[in-house]
Chains A and B, each alone.
Chain A
Amino acid sequence: MNREVRLKRQSKIRNFSIIAHIDHGKSTLADRILEKTNALSSREMKDQLLDSMDLERERGITIKLNAVQLSYKAKDGEEYIFHLIDTPGHVDFTYEVSRSLAACEGAILVVDAAQGIEAQTLANVYLALDNDLEILPVINKIDLPSADPERVRHEIEDVIGLDASEAVLASAKAGIGIEEILEQVVKTVPAPTGDPDAPLKALIFDSLYDAYRGVVAYIRVVDGTVRAGDKIKMMATGKEFEVTEVGVHNPKVTPCDELTVGDVGYLTAAIKHVGDTRVGDTITNAKNGATEPLPGYRKLNPMVYCGMYPIDTAKFNDLREALEKLQLNDSALQFEPETSQALGFGFRCGFLGLLHMEIIQERIEREFKIDLITTAPSVIYQVYMTDGTLINVDNPSNMPEQVKIDRVEEPYVKATMMSPNDYVGAIMELCQQKRGNFVDMQYLDENRVSIVYEIPLAEIVYDFFDQLKSNTRGYASFDYELIGYKPSKLVKMDILLNNEKVDALSFIVHKDFAYDRGKIIVEKLKDLIPRQQFEVPVQAAIGTKIVARSTIKAMRKNVLAKCYGGDISRKRKLLEKQKEGKKRMKQVGSVEVPQEAFMAVLKMDDNNAKK
């Protein structure tokens, strides 16, 4: 291809993504767009095609990003090349979202015609605006009886400050307005503006590990051209590779000769670790490369840590292999070996957030068949010692003795919640309960409110989101960003089972809440830990002081009475089930403890919520 052909082609490229709150119809709209651009016959259509992992499908969210190349014949008679870039829909993955948005020139903003703008949407719209994206508002689900497109139109204008007069009224489900959306993409989203002859600058917005091809990097070419055989360099890590293949997804994997300005596709280069293709990094030529990388790169640091231990101690190495395999595809996952007196050998793992943690945990159990005990998640506490040193504590059981601590600081987030004004009281009460500091409250219209609090991340990590949902009947939406560390009066609470301290159950708690939480947790543990052969005292202690106590009674009777008319298989199954339940428990000293008990600290506020 010569320069002219490339530039002509470049003028026909439109790169965009879809921003939407969960359930507002992003996946359905993506499906419709694929249909309209004839990327797939309807027989090939799987529902919500862009979400490929099973887990994503089950949870209805997108974790891994994907990009597809589509061709669209517009009403002006020209053939356009569309790149639709998918974005993950969860606050744990905000950075990835920002990088995939950076690969676009435009974004379709989907807002539910009945529900209006939600906090998550707003956060992503701001990310898009930060990246100078052209935003096309779409009011979706207009066929719902409760749809109020005019109200939503005003909301988009008032809350975000976008001109929504051209907003497409659509129903992705019913196929209404799809063509109009595509025409607007052609008209409104700018064509890419790079120089195909400049040194290569390609943004990595995702990568995955493929057993056959090595790491596949998903890239957006900003300047220059890349083809197989090129020597390239990763600007953040300085590592060099030789490109083995470039191509696009349409949506099938389709190798091509070159990727040039505006192209969104993949690149392989015999790369062995996803850590070498960091999201946000810039790929350039190994020789005479670009001098400045693309802006916005950040190394991702885990926010949440927990211990993962195999229930069967013999599976320690299997767990290590599982984590290594998952890390191939997930550079944000960190782990290092640790030992617990109660649980034996395991790993302290770092995650972007709670969802990320749950996904990894589930994949280990499902795909690698390793039963796990996961300790309650913890944030990183900064502990300033009396001798002037600073220790980062990511495991509550490593909290130093109280007397040696000068002060403890914990991470805080700015939490933004949006809700109908009926629930303002409930939200404020919850935030207060979670040690939040009120920052701001604004009425978006006569009925909807935006509330901002500063809350310790540790409280968010627990069950904040679940409680917010239940206290507002699911109406409130929520987003947060880390704002830094603040001093807190924190103490370590230890749990004793049968008079032995169980390090894996220790947690950090604010001094003022310590007694109440101690009481709640010993009761919770009493209910969660099944009766044992002997009576087991459960105690909560701060230092050497016992603050709460309860007792697990000894097992009294467990025997199948009936004979089931000769149905021995059934009897056997019942016994096997009981035995299986035991296998899911961890022997801690002389007590058998189920997984849920280690997470009990998370659910401590259930009792408060119920009152």
Chain B
Amino acid sequence: MMKAAYLHIPFCEHICYYCDFNKVFLKGQPVEEYLQALDEEMNITLQEVPAEKLATIFVGGGTPTSLNEQQLERFCQSINDRLPKAEDSEFTFEANPGDLSKEKLQILKDAGVNRISLGVQTFNDELLTKIGRVHRANDVFYTIETIKTAGFDNISIDLMFSLPTQTLTDFKQTLNAAFSLDLPHYSAYSLMIEPKTVFYNLQRKGKLPTPGEEIEAQMYEILMEEMDKHGLHQYEISNFSKPGFESRHNLTYWNNESYFGFGAGAHSYIEGFRRSNFGPLKKYIESLHNRKLPIFETHRVTRSEQMEEEMFLGLRKTAGVSISKFTEKFGQDPRHLFADEIADLTRKQWIEVTADNIYLTKQGRLLGNEVFQMFLGVFD
């Protein structure tokens, strides 16, 4: 049953050097038409796939808060008109430090948004410039203050590590600054160099001085230690929170559950089908203008694939894969299905198996991909 929806706002005022999400410069874009198309997509989809009341809605980008106040208001209205929400739903907006005015926050608040995820990345101004961000560390403190004042208490920030020229000291300082905000949720991602980014091109020319695997590993170890010290529980590879503040929306992905994906380039997982939408705005808008779903690719996830995904997604969580839930879902015990893989990984001390859970060890968290891969193609 559908319990989650992701909505994509592909506009940005600036493009960060590492970002490979579907995005365009805001200037001169058909924002109104896009919002209209989004509304239409929700409308058609909900007619075809009736949803129960949604437990989570996540608006990401791009930069959702790059919309102006009117656009933002209209967009929220459209979400609330089209998507049925549960009483206690989690409704998240991504935002950038610096572009959250009091007015915009009020619009979000009025629309029922109850969680803000802020793209901070680092508190080192020099590094911020190097990765193509336009905000400064001070903007973060100010913005967080504004958000809190507007009445939001479920706030998260994104941090990045293993950035070009970043040192262990830099990263520790960033963590300290982050903790000083005393937030209930933090995400921290190591930089990945993706094709079609500024960084990718720099790296190919040999001009991207990333700290290297050893330092990256140390940063990750420091991250885990520090988070733990500050009472923030690591519930997933890259996510830490105070009890009760886990991102329920992101848990949908890792629990291998269904979700809607609305917007250009958005992904959905509906009734066993993984779909992606057209990325180019023009194509996306045109399709919906003709009242057709803007589907670019559809993949029916086979049963074997579902079981593999249950494993490699579930293992991202600290709690790991629930053996009883797996068995209930697929009628087979994962310990038997993946007996060889589990034996091998246990021997390597990358996973542990308890009465009801299969989960990564601390060492396994550092080498997650090595573990995840083992569960792919097992049934071929």
Chain A residues near B (Cβ < 8 Å): 531, 533, 553, 555-569, 571-572, 575-576, 578-579, 582
Contacts and interface: CB of A to CB of B under 8 A. Distances in A.
Given A555-B370, A560-B192, A578-B369, A569 B376 contact: no
Contact of B376 (A559, A561, A564, A572): A572
B250 interface: yes
A578 to B, nearest CB: 6
Q: Which 10 A-B pairs have the closest CB atoms?
A: A559-B368, A556-B217, A561-B189, A557-B217, A579-B373, A566-B267, A558-B369, A567-B267, A561-B190, A557-B366
- Does more than half of chain B's interface fall in helix, strand or loop, or is it mixed? mixed
Nearest to B190: A561
Contacts of B8: 565
Given A576-B377, A579-B373, A557 B259 contact: no
B365 interface: yes
A578 B312 CA distance: 14
A558 B367 contact: yes
Contacts of A575: 312, 369, 372-373, 376
Contact of A568 (B21, B190, B238, B267): B267
Interface in B246-281: 250, 253, 259, 261, 266-269, 274, 276
B18 to A, nearest CB: 10
A244 to B, nearest CB: 46
B335 interface: no
Please indicate which of the listed interface residues A557, A561, A571 has the most CB atoms of chain B within 10 Å of its own CB: A557
Contacts of A564: 267
B376 A579 contact: yes
A567 B261 CA distance: 10
B48 interface: no
Contacts of A576: 373, 376-377
B213 interface: yes
B6 interface: yes
Given A557-B213, A557-B216, A575-B372, A565 B21 contact: yes
Interface in B343-380: 348, 365-370, 372-373, 376-377
B42 to A, nearest CB: 16
B336 interface: no
A559 B237 contact: yes
Contacts of A533: 348
A569 B372 contact: no
Nearest to A569: B274
Nearest to B308: A572
A562 B60 CA distance: 14
Given A561-B238, A575-B312, A579-B377, A566 B367 contact: no
Interface of B: 6, 8, 21, 60, 189-190, 192, 213-214, 216-217, 220, 237-238, 250, 253, 259, 261, 266-269, 274, 276, 299, 309, 312-313, 348, 365-370, 372-373, 376-377
Nearest to A566: B267
Please indicate which of the listed interface residues B8, B299, B312, B372 has the most CB atoms of chain A within 10 Å of its own CB: B372
Contacts of B238: 561-563
Nearest to A557: B217
Given A556-B366, A575-B312, A563 B250 contact: yes
Nearest to B252: A566
A569 B189 contact: no
B376 A566 contact: no
A496 to B, nearest CB: 24
A566 B372 CA distance: 17
B276 to A, nearest CB: 7
Contacts of A556: 213-214, 216-217, 366
Contacts of B253: 563, 566, 568
Contacts of B60: 565
A556 B377 CA distance: 25
A483 to B, nearest CB: 43
Given A565-B60, A569-B274, A579-B376, A559 B365 contact: yes
A557 B217 CA distance: 5
A558 B376 CA distance: 16
Given A575-B369, A575-B376, A576-B377, 17 more contacts: A556-B214, A557-B213, A558-B368, A558-B369, A559-B366, A560-B369, A561-B190, A562-B238, A566-B253, A566-B259, A568-B309, A569-B274, A569-B299, A571-B312, A575-B372, A578-B369, A578-B373
A157 B214 CA distance: 65
B60 to A, nearest CB: 6
A604 to B, nearest CB: 22
A559 B312 CA distance: 11
A556 B190 CA distance: 13
Nearest to B61: A565
Given A556-B214, A568-B267, A575-B376, A562 B189 contact: yes
A592 B186 CA distance: 37
B89 to A, nearest CB: 17
A191 to B, nearest CB: 60
B274 A568 contact: yes
B253 to A, nearest CB: 6
Contacts of B190: 557, 559, 561
Nearest to A560: B369
Contacts of B6: 565-566
Contacts of B268: 566
Contacts of B313: 568
A579 B370 CA distance: 8
Please indicate which of the listed interface residues B274, B348, B369 has the most CB atoms of chain A within 10 Å of its own CB: B369
Contacts of A559: 190, 237, 365-369
Contacts of B267: 564-569
A536 to B, nearest CB: 15
A576 B376 CA distance: 7
A572 B309 contact: yes
A578 B370 CA distance: 9
Contacts of A565: 6, 8, 21, 60, 261, 266-267
